[in-house]
Structure 1
Amino acid sequence: MSTFLPLNIRIDGKKILFVGGGGLAMHKLQAVLQFSTAVTVLDSACSDEVVSTGVQVLNKTYEPSDLDGFFLVYACTPDEGLNRRVLDDAQKKGVLCNIADNRNDSDFISPALFRHEGMTVSVSSDGRNARRSVEWRNAIKELFLSKRVPTKTNA
């Protein structure tokens, strides 16, 4: 069983790489783009949706040197072997890596997020039940948006 420490990481001036440019990457990318635009997506066939975000896209196949200069990497391909290779290469280089659909091997996981008026709420099930994390996040979001919880504007 993996154990994860909830924390916030400073990413000012740090680059983030996504290996894989399909639907799985897009899901993670939407959250990351709330915090950083220093994002590159590497995929020989990126989806139009990913391209439309305006991130830098590298249309190529993965090789270990692609990790050079990156702080975080998300392995988001449908190829388990490639995702594992990205993780192994990242760990050798000291780059934190998330395999989008494999919490047990990932260095970090991404919580369900809600941002409102300078506050960020993150909900995590330690990767065990993403759907439940989203349900909790949505319930918290509804509390804030319905003004049942004091915020900067209604306190």
Structure 2
Amino acid sequence: MADKNFLPIAIDIANQKILIVGGGQSAYSKLKILQRHNAEVEILAIDVCDEIKNSGVKYIEAPYHKNYLKDYLMLYSCSNNEELDRQIEKDCREEKVLVNIHDKPDRCQFVSPAIYRHGKISVAVSSNGENVYESIRIRNLIKDKLQLED
């Protein structure tokens, strides 16, 4: 993944349309994170888990099609389907929708950092998509340190 060099930025996603393709636990985990930032998240999947169904977000139980991409700022693919992910990546790039393929940073236009938020302060730790668990570990060290000083 030597050609990737992600710029850590903070982006306002409040009231922005974000699509998650996939209806399992990884999609639900991503949904919970995005809901903390007041995004307008929608789920598209053939099968949607009960946690998503009970979350209050709009979900569509249908197969993916490029036509669903209209008006979305970004898309997270949590499909765990290599062929589908390739199609989603291609379609998103053509339609100018930012794309993140779950656990495949080399296929992503953006990656999500490990975030700690306290009031109006956010700390984000990123490893350029190469070591998520190390990012989480360092984020937790920072979180622990900041909590001692509250």
Whole-angstrom distance in 2 between the partners of 1:108 and 1:55: 23
Partner of 2:67: 65
Partner of 2:80: 78
Paired residue total: 148
- Residue 30 of structure 1, CA deviation: 1.9
Partner of 1:151: none
- Residue 103 of structure 1, CA deviation: 0.2
Gaps of 5+ in 1: 148-153
TM-score, with structure 2 as normaliser: 0.93
Which of 120, 132, 135 aligns to 2:134? It is: 132
Larger radius of gyration: 1
Gaps of 5+ in 2: none
Q: Deviations over 1:97-149 (max 9, x none)?
A: 000111001000000111101111111111111011110111111111122xx
Q: Which amino acid aligns with 2:108?
A: S
Percentage of identical aligned residues: 34
| Contact 1:19–1:77 (Cα < 8 Å) also in 2 | yes
The answer to whether structure 1 residue 32 and structure 2 residue 34 are counterparts is: yes
Alignment RMSD, CA only? 1.2
Per mean C-alpha deviation after superposition, the further-off stretch among 19-28 and 39-48 is 19-28
The answer to whether structure 1 residue 88 and structure 2 residue 90 are counterparts is: yes
Whole-angstrom distance in 2 between the partners of 1:51 and 1:144: 35
Bigger proportion of residues as helix: 2
